[in-house]
Amino acid sequence: MDKVYVISEHAATYHQLLAAAQLPDLAVTHNAAEATIWLADPPLAVSKLPHANALRWLQSTFAGTDALIQAPFRHYQLTNVRGIFGPLMAEYVFGHLLTNTRHIGQYAKQQAQCHWQPQPYQSLHGQTLAILGTGAIGQYIATVAHAFGMKVLGTNQTGRSVEAFDHTMTLPELQQRLREVDVLVSTLPATDKTHQCLNAAFWQHAQDLFFINVGRGATVDEPALIHALEAKQLRGAVLDVMQQEPLPESHPFWTHPKVTVTPHIAAVSFPDQVFKLFTDNYRRWHAGEPLLHHVDFDKGY
């Protein structure tokens, strides 16, 4: 008999879902030390890991597991949430992109002033979008971009071809071609290899680029990003993730005229979707089969 411990801001909902699911040979416990399985929000789970003596598998309720990877405990299997965030990320990316290119905010201001003034704009059709990361999220964004008639480039560690993209390459290769890119979207995870990889050297070939970060804040050298904005290498940045969250009130991102800040809301984890993934994985666990969406502690994803 396995025992599952839930630690999440949505714990009450997960407990209701567990009670209704009646998964075989699984009991709910409120004692972290005796649980073999955790269903957990990574930031909340970290402080309890020193007492997780019986833990064998932790199902993260988030896609990002940075907090757990950085903790000095690796005696368990870690799985995360994948395959459900693509549509939400695409909505966020193109919502902001269209707001920018079609001057939606400017028209709202003009309406308040009873001011009739058309603004010139360019269509997304024919523009080049580069996506950092060719995983499920990047592939979904690429598919939507093609519907707008955009050319889509992608990056991964080896430059291997991925069907959803017109062309794929490594990050250093893209760096040399940034002048060709109109919009850059980052879905990169936080790893040792990606730490502040979007730095001054990376932006040096950019020209009037629009940047959206829905990956991880640790991938961005923030002072270098501000410099690139002021040097007109970037025409704007939409940031849903930062190095420090919540973003300190004194941070220059808050007041920079070319930066849009949102509080890490591009794709939230809905409990019913997360729980479906958990139940699928639990049935695998119960049957002795390999778990889906396994996270490699060394790689960081």
Q: Which amino acid is at 164?
A: A
Does a cis peptide bond (omega within 30 degrees of 0) precede residue 246? yes
Among residues 56, 227, 256, 264, the one annotated as catalytic is: 264
d(CA 45, CA 66): 12
82 is catalytic: no
264 is catalytic: yes
The packing angle between helices 271-286 and 11-21, to 10°, is: 50
Alpha helices (H) along the chain: 11-21, 42-45, 66-70, 86-101, 104-112, 136-147, 171-176, 200-203, 222-230, 271-286
CB 55 within 8 A of CB 28: no
d(CA 17, CA 277): 12
Would you put residue 84 in left (φ > 0), alpha (ψ -120 to 50) or beta? Answer: alpha
Q: Which residues pair with 60 in a beta bridge?
A: 40
Rg (CA), the chain: 21
The packing angle between helices 86-101 and 104-112, to 10°, is: 50
Question: Annotated catalytic sites, by residue?
Answer: 216, 264
